[in-house]
Amino acid sequence: MVRLIISADGADQFESWKKAFLEVSPDLDVCSWYEASVKPGEADYALVWTPEEDHFEQLSFVKGILCVGAGVDHLLRTPQFPRHVPLVRMGGAQTAELMADYITWAAIGLLRDARTWAVQQAGHIWSYNGVARTSGETRIGVMGLGHLGSHVAAHLGRIGFQVSGWRRSTGLLAGVDVFSGKAALPDFLKKSDILVNLLPSTAETRGLITYPFLSALPQGAGFINVGRGDHVVQADLVRALDEGMISGAVLDVVTPDPLPPTSSLWSHPRITVTPHVASVASRNMQARYVAETIAQMERGEQPPLLYDPEKGY
């Protein structure tokens, strides 16, 4: 029997994981890292989010580490993380669908200036300027066309947006105007009335979104960040918003994450903040994906969302 040890989400969440695995994959032997009788060294696979410091040594003995997040940058920044063990990111159809729904909500909210409505409602103000742009009139640019970005781009195209995308490689995508590599970035930005950041956090992408970067967008563009907070120089974004260069921002990821109650981002009239919730699949969906990934690895197959140390994502 294949044994999966779980530390993800802490000790008090283990029962909900166990229930989900029992429903979707009863053959998997699931145990908690926090049970005194469990020997982590005897597990075949581990499911983690932010492992405790004393877990890292034992993690180096498993056949595979599965992360409950699609971004694994936080694990790789930990020097003790065992880099020789295959690391698999969270995936599954539901994660991509949830992300597409979130970005649709955020993009339409930017087009309709929903942030102003929220401020007005809080102040009991009935006022409108009647100016709105349609999705069909709007060019939306998606940075990152991977597992999530490719689905998001296709979805936005089906709704009627004019969609372009930016990626490292030259892979094409039906219905999407694809720009590849750094040299193509200025042309891509020029065409993005709304910019969506869905990049992974890597040495190349951290700190990418600065004031000069934002100034390459059309005047009054909207910005949606669902990648990572560290892609953005936050003070530069606030400056661009204050100057009207960017008309509004929807931020699901920020620095620090979680955002402290004292942060001025909360009350900025052009910023909508959500608490890193763009794509959190249900327990059963996550468990199903993990069980399928383990089955693939047991058959000697390479899971599609295997972290690639060469690329850094």
Write out the binding residues for ligand NDP, residues 245-264 only, by CB under 6 A: 252-253
Interface pick for ligand NDP out of 149, 222, 229, 303 (rule CB under 6 A): 149
Interface pick for ligand NDP out of 204, 215, 259, 265 (rule CB under 6 A): 204
Alpha helices in 34-122 (DSSP H): 56-59, 73-76, 93-112, 114-122
Is 228 marked active-site? yes
d(CA 221, CA 249): 9
Residue 190 DSSP SS3: helix
Nearest approach, Cβ of residue 116 and ligand NDP (Å): 24
**Per CB under 6 A, 145 contacts ligand NDP:** yes
Under 8 Å between Cβ of 200 and 227: yes
d(CA 233, CA 43): 41
Which is catalytic among the residues 167, 228, 270, 288?
A: 228
Number of CB atoms found within 10 A of residue 308's CB: 9
Interface pick for ligand NDP out of 18, 19, 168, 191 (rule CB under 6 A): 168
- Judged by beta carbon, residue 138 or residue 279, the one nearer ligand NDP is 279
**Per CB under 6 A, 219 contacts ligand NDP:** no
Is 276 marked active-site? yes
Beta-carbon contacts of 99 under 8 Å, excluding residues fewer than 6 positions away, are 148, 151, 152, 198, 226, 278, 279
- The pair of structure tokens assigned to 275 is 């608490």
- Which residues are paired to 194 by β-bridges? 140, 222
- Which residues are paired to 236 by β-bridges? none
Nearest approach, Cβ of residue 146 and ligand NDP (Å): 2
Binding window for ligand NDP (CB under 6 A); candidates: 132-140, 142-150, 211-219, 234-242: 142-150
Interacting residue ranges for ligand NDP, rule: CB under 6 A: 70-71, 144-149, 166-169, 171, 198-202, 204-205, 226-228, 252-253, 276, 278-279, 313
